[in-house]
Amino acid sequence: MLSDVKTRSILIQIVLVAAVAAFAVLLVHTTFANLRARGIPVGFDFLAMPSRIVISEAILTYKSRDPYYWAIAVGLANTIFLSTLVIVFSSILGLIVGIARLSSNPLASGTCRVWVELARNSPPIVLLIFLYSLWWKVLPPVGEALNPLPGVYASMRGFVVPDVSVNLSTAGLLTAIALLVLGMSSLLVLRNMISRLALAPAGLFLVVVALWVADIRFDVEWPTFTGSNFSGGNELTPELSTILIGLTIYTTGFIAEIVRGGILSVGRGQWDAGHSLGLSRGKILRLVVIPQMLRVILPPLNSQYINVVKNSTLAIAVGYPDFLAVMNTIISKSSHSIEGVFIILGVYLLLNLTLSSAANWYNRRISIVER
C-alpha cells in the first residue's frame, strides 16, 4: 500500500496535520497551566462583567456600566463604520483619479500623478500624524467656523453636518417588504414577456410605491450655532475626520493605479470599435471599457479593501476608539491578554474573510463562462 504514490502522499499529509495539531494543543495547554499556576485569570467569563471603560465616541449606544462584550461590539462597529466609509470614498476617488491619469490634459494627469506618487510612497502613519497636527493650525475656532456647504461647518473641533433621521412603523415596513418582494418576483417571471427598457421603470415604480406604503419620513436636523458651540446635527470629531481623510487619500493612490492598469489592459481595438459606432469617449469608457476592466481589477481591488480594514488599526495613533484601541483598553483593565489577542485575531480574520468571500462571489458572477 505504501508503494502507491497517492496513498503515501495522503498519509504524509495526515501525519503532518496531526503533528501540527498536537503541537498547538500542547502549546495551549502549557500556556493555560502556567497562567493558572501564577494566579493569572484564564477564560472568557470576564466578557459578561461591567467594563467600566470610557469610549469617547461610538456608533452604537454605550455606557460605562455595559459589559465587556458590548464594549467590544461598539469598537467593532466603529471599525466597520470607518472601513466602509474609506472603501466607498476611495473607490469613487480612485476611479476618477485613475481615469484622469490617462487624460491628455497635462494639468489633470500631472496633478493625479502627484497624488498617486505621494500616497503610494508615504507611510500611512506619517500621513495621519501630519494631518492631525495641522488640524488646529489650519481650521478656525468654532465661533468662526467655515461653511463650505449649506449645513456643513468646519472648525478645530471637527465637522458638523446635518442629521437625517428615518421614521417608519414596523407594520408599514413589513408590508412594503412583502410588496417589494412580490413585485420583483413578478417582474422576474415576466421579464421574457416585457421589454427590457420597461424593467427599470417598473422596478423604480415598485420601490416608490413600497416607500409610500411604508410611510417612511425623513427628518433633517440642521446644525445651529448657539452660545459657544453648535447644537443639532452630527459632529465628526477631529480624530474621526483625520483617520477618514488620511486613509481615503492613502488608499485612493493605490486604487487609482489599479484602475489605470485595468483601463490599459483593454485592447485599443475596443476603443476603435466604439468610435466606429459613433460613441463618445465617455460612453465608450462607461459601456465598453469599465465592464471589461472590472474582471481585471477585482482581485487587486479586494486586496486593497482588506488593507483598509487592517490599516484602520492606525486610528489608535490619533485617538479614535476603533476595535483595536478598545481591545487594548480591555486587555489592560481585565488582565486577560491571551483571550484578548484571540478575540483580535478572530475578529480581523472574520472581517477579511467576509470581504474576500464577497469579492470572490462577485468575481464569479462577472467572469466569462466558456462553453
Residues 132 and 259 both lie in one domain = yes
Whether residue 255 is found in the same domain as residue 352:
yes
Better-predicted residue by pLDDT, 42 or 159: 159
The pLDDT of residue 235 is above 60: yes
Q: How far is CA 243 from its chain centroid?
A: 13
Query: Which residue in 318, 230, 300 sits closest to 259, CA to CA?
Result: 300
Structure confidence at residue 2 (pLDDT): 59
The number of beta carbons lying within 10 Å of the beta carbon of residue 138 is: 10
End-to-end CA distance of the chain: 40
**pLDDT (0 to 100) of residue 195:** 54
- Least confidently predicted of 125-129, 160-164, 364-368: 364-368
**Which pLDDT tens digit goes with each residue over 318-352?**
889 999 999 999 988 888 888 888 899 999 999 99
pLDDT digits (tens, 9 = 90+) for 130-143: 988 888 788 888 87
Calculate mean pLDDT across residues 122-131: 91
Same domain, yes or no: 175 and 311: no
pLDDT at residue 211 in the model: 62
Residue 188 forms part of a structural domain? yes
Does one domain contain both 199 and 259?
no
Global pTM value:
0.78
Residue 20 has pLDDT above 90, yes or no: yes
Give yes or no: residues 73 and 126 share one domain: yes
Is 336 part of a structural domain of the chain?
A: yes
Print the domain residue range for 18.
5-40
- Please check the confidence at residue 1 and state whether its pLDDT lies above 70: no
| 51 occurs within a structural domain | no
CATH at 343? 1.10.3720.10
Q: Does residue 194 carry a pLDDT above 60?
A: no
Tens of pLDDT, residue by residue over 276-292, are 888 777 788 777 888 88
Q: Are residues 201 and 304 in the same domain?
A: no
Res 196: pLDDT = 52
Residues 244 and 178 in one domain: no
Q: Looking at the structure, do residues 121 and 89 belong to the same domain, yes or no?
A: yes
Over residues 175-196, the mean pLDDT reads 60
Report which of 280, 281, 314, 359 is spatially closest to residue 125, judged by C-alpha positions. Answer: 314
Specify the number of domains making up the chain.
3
**Cα→Cα distances 76→222, 242, 353, Å:** 29, 19, 15
210 and 259 in a single domain? The answer is: no
Residue 133 within any structural domain of the chain: yes
Q: Please state, rounded to an integer, the average pLDDT across all residues of the chain.
A: 82
